[in-house]
């Protein structure tokens, strides 16, 4: 299963939609948003794509009531998880948070195959050693809106366990 991993859209719907469309074109079956969406209008255009969207809120919470309403009215396409998410996707366990320090801690548990985060606006993909003697992928796609760095997103292939950053 391929997924689109994005973060830090900060009220910018156009680059978020562009990333999701590009990911769908590369076979992505879901979008994972690692927070700092701000407003529900930022996610609304994604409903027309027909891809499930999993979103956490981040430190710039914006309007969580509007996000929850949009999720309720999306016919199940948008799932607003609040502060974090524990997702079974493509036979893998995926943990989603906004904050890198929380992501690192969750990756260290070894309970997850992939831990996704945002916040820094700098893309990175690393394998974090965990307490089970293995490693867990930590993926930060940077800012899809291009705030503080280049705009981009990550195409994750959960079958192959590969994560490729894509520029917008």
Distance CA 6, CA 155 (A): 9
Query: Tens digit of pLDDT for each residue in 68-86?
Result: 999 999 999 999 999 999 9
Which residues sit opposite 127 in a β-bridge? 137
Tell which CATH architecture fits domain 2-167.
4-Layer Sandwich (3.60)
CA distances from 5 to 69, 93, 130 (A): 23, 15, 22
Per-residue model confidence (pLDDT) at position 61: 84
Read off the pLDDT of each residue in 37-45 and give the average, rounded to a whole number.
95
Structure tokens at 53: 């969207």
Read off the pLDDT of each residue in 146-166 and give the average, rounded to a whole number.
97
Cβ density class 86-110: b for 16+ within 10 Å, e for less: ebebbebebbbbbbbebbbebbbeb
Distance CA 87, CA 21 (A): 22
Per-residue model confidence (pLDDT) at position 4: 98
CA distances from 110 to 65, 130, 144 (A): 33, 5, 28
| pLDDT confidence band for 151 (50 / 70 / 90) | very high
Read off the pLDDT of each residue in 123-134 and give the average, rounded to a whole number.
97
Q: What is the mean pLDDT of the chain?
A: 97
Query: Residue 137 phi/psi, 5° resolution?
Result: -70, 130
Read off the pLDDT of each residue in 106-116 and give the average, rounded to a whole number.
98
Strands 152-157 and 162-167: antiparallel
- Which of 126-131's residues contact partners 24+ apart within 8 Å by CB, and which partners? 128/104
Per-residue model confidence (pLDDT) at position 162: 98
**Is residue 18 predicted with pLDDT exceeding 90?**
yes
Per-residue model confidence (pLDDT) at position 79: 97
């Amino acid at each position: 299963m391929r997924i689109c991993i994005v973060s830090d859209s900060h009220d910018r719907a156009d680059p978020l939609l562009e990333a999701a469309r590009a990911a769908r074109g590369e076979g992505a079956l879901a979008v994972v948003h690692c927070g700092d969406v701000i407003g529900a209008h930022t996610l609304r255009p994604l409903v027309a794509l027909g891809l499930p969207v999993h979103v956490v809120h981040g430190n710039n919470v914006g309007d969580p009531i509007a996000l929850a309403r949009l999720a309720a009215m999306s016919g199940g396409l948008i799932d607003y998880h609040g502060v974090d998410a524990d997702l079974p996707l493509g036979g893998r366990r995926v943990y989603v948070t906004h904050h890198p320090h929380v992501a690192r801690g969750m990756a260290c548990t070894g309970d997850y195959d992939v831990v996704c985060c945002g916040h820094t606006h700098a893309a990175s993909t690393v394998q974090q050693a965990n307490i089970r003697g293995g490693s867990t992928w930590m993926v930060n796609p940077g800012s899809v809106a291009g705030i503080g760095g280049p705009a981009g997103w990550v195409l994750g292939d959960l079958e192959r366990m590969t994560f490729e950053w894509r520029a917008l």
